[in-house]
Amino acid sequence: MSKPKLVVLTGAGISAESGLKTFRGAGGLWEGHRVTDVATPEAFRADPEMVLRFYNERRHQAFAAQPNAGHLGLVELEKTFDVTIITQNIDDLHERAGSSHIIHLHGELRKKRSAQNPNLIEDWVEDIHVGDLAPDGGQWRPHIVWFGEQVPMLDEAVPHVYQADVLVVVGTSLVVYPAASLVDYVRPGKKIYVVDPNRPSGMYVANEVEFIEEPASTGVPKLVERLSV
Ligand code: APR
């Protein structure tokens, strides 16, 4: 018999205990910056060196971080379920924890792309500076979805949520669209679990929702225990 399908939507909260800051935490700043000052095409046009420096730092910081019990717990679920992880995170902690199927909605710090062609993508292995050019002559930039840009991986993510037997939401405030709209695709009657010390403010669904109001490192293992019986 095939395993039931479980889809997990993760956000910055799952990586918080690995030392990576959330976006809308204390003070509403992301690593000392307003998100709009670093994560928009306008910011990149206005001050590319600053934006590149910021993301070079994020990349070093993310690679130095280690997966926590939240990431590892989601790998455990693969014993019982066919698991797909849809993450808004740009770090690679789900990969390094060992999850098999991961969709990065907002891009990845492991990849860079040409500012001229969103489909010209390569592995990002060294810091990027102004003047580092892709083969098409475009400035290299992080392969990251900035505010106001398209979210091409959304089309791949939606059918997974629609086919899910169970949806799990971990560590996202669900205020950023279109990612937040994914929960609307869960079919009626399918249960949703939320692991977050704070109930996500942007969650309006008719489905049954069970909240585990704890940090990911303790909440995900509890969820695993609950779902594995
Ligand atoms: N464990 C679980 N959840 C936590 C933890 C923790 N240890 N610490 C904080 N959280 C929760 C917060 O309560 C909040 O609900 O994580 C959530 C983080 O929300 P945001 O900072 O808004 O992050 P996220 O939802 O991932 O942001 C979405 O916004 O800036 C953009 O593109 C960026 O992907 C990002 C998107």
Q: Tell whether the model's pLDDT for residue 26 goes beyond 70.
A: no
Tell me the average pLDDT across 49-67.
Answer: 96
Q: Tell whether the model's pLDDT for residue 49 goes beyond 90.
A: yes
Q: Are residues 191 and 125 in the same domain?
A: no
Q: Are residues 114 and 210 in the same domain?
A: no
Q: Indicate which CATH number applies to the domain containing 102.
A: 3.40.50.1220
Q: Could you say which of 89, 122, 144 is where a domain stops?
A: 144
| 96 in Cβ contact with 149 (< 8 Å) | no
Q: Are residues 112 and 101 in the same domain?
A: no
Q: Are residues 75 and 179 in the same domain?
A: yes
Q: Indicate which CATH number applies to the domain containing 127.
A: 3.30.1600.10
Ligand 1: residues within 6 Å at CB?
A: 11-14, 16-17, 22-25, 35, 88, 106, 171-173, 175-176, 196-198, 200, 215-216
Residue of minimum CA distance from atom 34 in ligand 1: 88
Q: Are residues 16 and 122 in the same domain?
A: no
Q: Could you say which of 117, 144, 171 is where a domain stops?
A: 144
Atom of ligand 1 nearest to the CA of 17: 7
Whether residue 197 is preceded by a cis peptide bond, meaning omega within 30 degrees of 0, is no
Q: Are residues 138 and 226 in the same domain?
A: no
Q: In terms of residue numbers, what domain contains 53? A: 21-64+108-144
Q: What is the DSSP code (8-state) at residue 32?
A: T
Q: Are residues 128 and 56 in the same domain?
A: yes
* Catalytic one of 71, 106, 143, 160: 106
Q: Are residues 77 and 182 in the same domain?
A: yes
Rounded to an integer, what distance in angstroms lies between the CA atom of residue 224 and that of residue 222?
A: 5
- Check residue 226 and give its pLDDT: 96
- Check residue 81 and give its pLDDT: 98
Instruction: Retrieve residue 228's tokens.
Output: 């594995």
C-alpha 26 to ligand 1 mean position (Å):
12
- Give the count of domains, the chain: 2
pLDDT in tens, 87-145: 999 999 999 999 999 999 999 999 999 999 999 999 999 999 999 999 999 999 999 99
With cut-offs at 50, 70 and 90, classify the pLDDT of residue 63: very high
Q: Are residues 118 and 97 in the same domain?
A: no
With cut-offs at 50, 70 and 90, classify the pLDDT of residue 197: very high
Rounded to an integer, what distance in angstroms lies between the CA atom of residue 147 and that of residue 205?
A: 25
Q: Are residues 51 and 137 in the same domain?
A: yes
Q: Are residues 99 and 203 in the same domain?
A: yes
Pocket test for ligand 1, best of 14, 24, 34 (most atoms within 8 A of CB): 24
Atom of ligand 1 nearest to the CA of 70: 1
Average pLDDT, the chain: 94
Q: Are strands 121-123 and 107-114 parallel, antiparallel or unpaired?
A: antiparallel
Largest CA-CA distance found in the chain, in angstroms, rounded: 55
Q: Are residues 73 and 89 in the same domain?
A: yes
